[in-house]
C-alpha cells in the first residue's frame, strides 16, 4: 500500500532539507505547505493576501485553507503513490482531515519525527538562508555558503532570509509548535505510527536514518 509520510518536527528541525533529499534521491514527491503558501506571495487574491499577513505574523493559516491546498496538490498524478508531507498536519484538526484524505486515497499514514531539542532551534532558524533560484538551504552558523550571502551554484542572486525567521517571529513559531503540533506526536505514537530520528546528527547521517524508515 502506498504511504503518506508525515515529517514532523519543530520549525528549524530540518524537515525541508530532508524532504528535499528524499525527493531528489529517491524520487518521492514532497509536498510542503510552507513552500506552497510562500509561492502565493505574489498573487493578488483575497486568500493570498490573508495568507501573507498570517505567515508574516508567525501564526498558522486556517485548517480549512491549508487542507484545501493539500487536497488539491495531492490529487495530482505525481502523488498517486507514496508522497511526503512537510509541515502538514500541524493541528489536531488537520490530523483528522488527513485521516479522511488517506482513506479516500487508499494510503496509510506513517509519521516520522525529526527530533531536535528546543535550544538548538533558534539559531537554526535565524541563521537560515535559501537560494531564490534553486532553493538550496544554507545556515550562516552551521552551513555557510562559500561566498557571503550568495548561493554556491547561483552567484548572481542574493540569498533569501525568510521574513518569519527573525528572532521575534521564531519565538512565536516555536510556541505555536509546542501548543498545536507537539500533541500530534502522542496521537501518532498511540496509534503505533510514529518513528523517530535524531535531528541533531549531521545532515547526511539523518538522511541515512530516514531512508531506512520510509
Instruction: Check if 123 is active-site.
Output: no
Give the nearer residue to ligand AMP in terms of CB position, either 132 or 146. 132
The one catalytic residue among 71, 123, 162, 195: 162
Find the binding residues for ligand AMP in span 141-180 (CB under 6 A).
164, 173
Total residues in contact with ligand AMP, by rule CB under 6 A: 17
Residue 54 within binding range of ligand AMP, rule CB under 6 A = yes
Among 34, 74, 126, 128, binds ligand AMP (CB under 6 A): 34
CA distance 94 to 64: 8
For ligand AMP, which stretch binds (CB under 6 A), given 39-47, 59-67, 99-107, 148-156? 59-67
Residue 93 within binding range of ligand AMP, rule CB under 6 A = no
Closest approach of Cβ 189 to ligand AMP, in Å? 19
Closest approach of Cβ 200 to ligand AMP, in Å? 19
H-helix segments, 2-42: 15-26, 33-39
Which residues fall within 8 angstroms of residue 73, CB to CB, at 6 or more apart? 31, 36, 79
The one catalytic residue among 73, 107, 128, 129: 128
**Three-class SS state of 11:** coil
**Three-class SS state of 205:** helix
Which residues fall within 8 angstroms of residue 140, CB to CB, at 6 or more apart? 127, 129
- Partner residues linked to 196 by β-bridges: 113
Binding mask 65-84 for ligand AMP (x = CB under 6 A): -x------------------
- Exposure string over 116-131, b if 16+ CB within 10 A, otherwise e: beeeebeebbbbbbbb
Give the nearer residue to ligand AMP in terms of CB position, either 14 or 145. 14
Residue 88 within binding range of ligand AMP, rule CB under 6 A = yes
Q: What angle do CA 206, 14, 4 make, to 5 degrees?
A: 80
CA distances from 130 to 50, 95, 105 (A): 24, 29, 33
Instruction: Check if 15 is active-site.
Output: yes
Binding site for ligand AMP (CB under 6 A): 11, 33-34, 37, 54-55, 58-61, 66, 87-88, 90, 94, 164, 173
Q: Which positions are catalytic?
A: 15, 90, 128, 162, 173
Amino acid at each position: 500500500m502506498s504511504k503518506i509520510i508525515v515529517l514532523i518536527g519543530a520549525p528549524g528541525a530540518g524537515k525541508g532539507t530532508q524532504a528535499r533529499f528524499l525527493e531528489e534521491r529517491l524520487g518521492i514527491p514532497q509536498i510542503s505547505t510552507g513552500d506552497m503558501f510562500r509561492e502565493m506571495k505574489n498573487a493578488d487574491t483575497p486568500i493570498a493576501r490573508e495568507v501573507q499577513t498570517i505567515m508574516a505574523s508567525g501564526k498558522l493559516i486556517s485548517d480549512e485553507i491549508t487542507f484545501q491546498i493539500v487536497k488539491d496538490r495531492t490529487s495530482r498524478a505525481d502523488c498517486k503513490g507514496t508522497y511526503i508531507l512537510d509541515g502538514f498536519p500541524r493541528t489536531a484538526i488537520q490530523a483528522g482531515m488527513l485521516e479522511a484524505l488517506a482513506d479516500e486515497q487508499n494510503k496509510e499514514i506513517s509519521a516520522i519525527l525529526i527530533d531536535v531539542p528546543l535550544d538548538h532551534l533558534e539559531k537554526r532558524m535565524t541563521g537560515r538562508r535559501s537560494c531564490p533560484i534553486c532553493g538550496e538551504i544554507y545556515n550562516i552558523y552551521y552551513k555557510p555558503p562559500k561566498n557571503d550571502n550568495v548561493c554556491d551554484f547561483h552567484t548572481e542572486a542574493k540569498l533569501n532570509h525568510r521574513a518569519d525567521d527573525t528572532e521575534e517571529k521564531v519565538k512565536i513559531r516555536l510556541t505555536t509548535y509546542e501548543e498545536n503540533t507537539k500533541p500530534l506526536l502522542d496521537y501518532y505514537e498511540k496509534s503505533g505510527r510514529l518513528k523517530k530520528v535524531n535531528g541533531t546528527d549531521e545532515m547526511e547521517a539523518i538522511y541515512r536514518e530516514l531512508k531506512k524508515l520510509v
